[in-house]
Amino acid sequence: MNIFIGYGMVVVFFAVIVLVMERSYKKDANFTDYAVASRSFGPWFQSMSFLNTWLPGTVFISFAGLAAGSGIIGFYVLPYSLLAVMFMFMMADRVWEWGRVFNLRTQADFVGMRYNSTPVRVIAAAVGILASIPWLILGFQSLGLVFSYLSFGVVGPVAAVFIGIFVLAVRQVWTVRMGMRGIVISDMVQGLVAYAGGFLLALGFIVWLLSSGHGFKSLPATFWNLPGVGSETGFLYFFSLVATGALGAWCWPDIFVRLFTAKSSRTVKSSAVKAAPALFLFITALIIMSLLAHSLSDVAKAPDNVWFLTLARGGPWILALGGVAVLAATMGNVNAITASVGLQVSQDIIHVKGTTDQRMTRTAKYAIAGAVVVSVIGALLTVNTASGLVLLAVASYQGIVQLAPSLFLGLLWRRGTATGAAAGMIVGFVTAATLTFFYPVSIPALGGLTSGVVGMILNTIIYVALAYLAPLSSSEKERVTRLFDNLSTFHTSLSSDTNEPINVRTTS
């Protein structure tokens, strides 16, 4: 009987999403309309679109699980999220302006333009895609938990993953049909359900936990310590987690593309100011609830299931609401990742020299299907994991942060070269991947630095060194000077068929 409550609520939620998308459907005029909704959204939609992409369903599982299992370190997601928003603010002007003038659609497109280099574009796309796969695994894993718990014991974990895939596959019909416009509009509804609904549920259970003998005093003293000097993980571990999180935030292709969907750079900044308090309230409530729930015996044994195990105490309707919140968060994030993976594989790797819109779209769909297959296999392999899932997320950050030197220094410093960017990314990624294999958590001999930080340091040294050892040619120096100081001097060609700007830049 309870399965009808759980799955019934999912059906109702799904129907609302489809209704909203159908009523707001507008045929795409061209590929830019499809890829970035012609840069048309205002601050509220931008803000929720960012949140629905930034806070995936796994925040209720792996991040809440970290707090429930390990204590206060689970709060690290808060400072790095707020720092990411601050970086969004700082980057907005230049990224949006360059994006508009050159009709940029992806992050790889952006760095390719900045360095006037196809190899840089391809490498950036490859790093972004590889690092995104663990988040897809976590996304499908989240769905598996949702459909398992909402079945109230009827559906096992493996079958639940396949039900989740089916639901997402059906959802993809509208994603593929409506493009970025559909994603941003549905993000608003999904975001309200996930984060406003999630916040209220978390707040309610904080009150319940505090009033039923599960207060802060029932938690172990070690819960309140961060790794400091002399600790096993090292005193630089917390710094590494926050630094790779904050710097890595805008290296995610699906997050970065959000900067291109706004109608102006002022809109991007306004959305940052709106998103920050929402992030603060939601994450604070979720993490405090998870900390307190550690004293529940079943949560202590399976901390990654803290959200479902705690909400189950409120009865089937409450658990169903909580499950829908996770589903809403997951749908937004998985949609964004698959769309960006598909687009980057197609536009920035396979068809980097250009092709028709039809071929690009077809290739993107195949790429999405391939990424889904790989991620589903990963989700099935981790389906019975009840703790430590956050390590997948942390590991992926070590890879994606290798885009940070080229991206951020490319925005701030004129001397950076394509050679430095390419070499830095490759060395950084290989270093991070190798060190992660031997030191999956932190490197004790380096005070607790993570593999990603070490990779990023090497990456930056190479980037800066090559800027001086093999500097820009005079023509490239002139182009970069105009890029920074006099954007209006770039000629923009307009296609007479679509009236859409076409990049006028040479790539090597």
Partner 1 sequence: MTTDQQSEYIPKSRHSTKLYVIAATINLAIMLLPPIYLGMTSGGAALAIGYFMGLSVILLISLWALNLYDSSSSRAGSS
Residues that bind partner 1 (CB under 8 A): 72, 75, 78-79, 82-83, 85-86, 89-90, 93-94, 97, 100-101, 216, 219, 221, 223-231, 235-239, 242-243, 246, 266, 269-270, 272-273, 276-277, 280, 284, 288, 487-497, 502, 504
Identify the H or E element spanning 279: helix 265-293
We find the least distance from the C-beta atom of residue 205 to partner 1, in angstroms, to be 17
We find the least distance from the C-beta atom of residue 74 to partner 1, in angstroms, to be 10
We find the least distance from the C-beta atom of residue 303 to partner 1, in angstroms, to be 18
We find the least distance from the C-beta atom of residue 417 to partner 1, in angstroms, to be 22
Decide whether 211 or 474 has the Cβ nearer to partner 1.
211
We find the least distance from the C-beta atom of residue 219 to partner 1, in angstroms, to be 7
Decide whether 224 or 437 has the Cβ nearer to partner 1.
224
CA distance 96 to 300: 46
Concatenated DSSP letters for 28-82? -SSHHHHHHGGG-B-HHHHHHHHHHHHS-GGGGTHHHHHHHHH-GGGGGHHHHHH
CA distance 486 to 489: 6
Decide whether 377 or 504 has the Cβ nearer to partner 1.
504
Decide whether 469 or 494 has the Cβ nearer to partner 1.
494
Task: Kindly state the greatest CA–CA separation across the chain.
Answer: 73
Decide whether 105 or 171 has the Cβ nearer to partner 1.
105
CA distance 444 to 489: 51
Instruction: Identify which of 305, 251, 308, 216 has the alpha carbon closest to the alpha carbon of residue 88.
Output: 251
We find the least distance from the C-beta atom of residue 86 to partner 1, in angstroms, to be 6
CA distance 111 to 102: 12
- Return the beta strands (E) in 244-341 as ranges: none
Q: How far is CA 126 from the centre of its chain?
A: 16
Instruction: Identify which of 97, 150, 68, 108 has the alpha carbon closest to the alpha carbon of residue 326.
Output: 150
Instruction: Identify which of 60, 175, 31, 134 has the alpha carbon closest to the alpha carbon of residue 440.
Output: 134
Given a contact cutoff of 8 angstroms between Cβ atoms, the answer to whether 425 and 406 are in contact is yes
Decide whether 207 or 502 has the Cβ nearer to partner 1.
502
In one letter, which amino acid is 265? S
Instruction: Identify which of 144, 83, 136, 143 has the alpha carbon closest to the alpha carbon of residue 272.
Output: 83
We find the least distance from the C-beta atom of residue 202 to partner 1, in angstroms, to be 15
Decide whether 21 or 272 has the Cβ nearer to partner 1.
272
We find the least distance from the C-beta atom of residue 242 to partner 1, in angstroms, to be 5
Decide whether 497 or 506 has the Cβ nearer to partner 1.
497
We find the least distance from the C-beta atom of residue 390 to partner 1, in angstroms, to be 17
Decide whether 115 or 282 has the Cβ nearer to partner 1.
282
* Structure tokens given for 260: 């291109």
Instruction: Identify which of 241, 304, 195 has the alpha carbon closest to the alpha carbon of residue 73.
Output: 241
Given a contact cutoff of 8 angstroms between Cβ atoms, the answer to whether 432 and 454 are in contact is yes
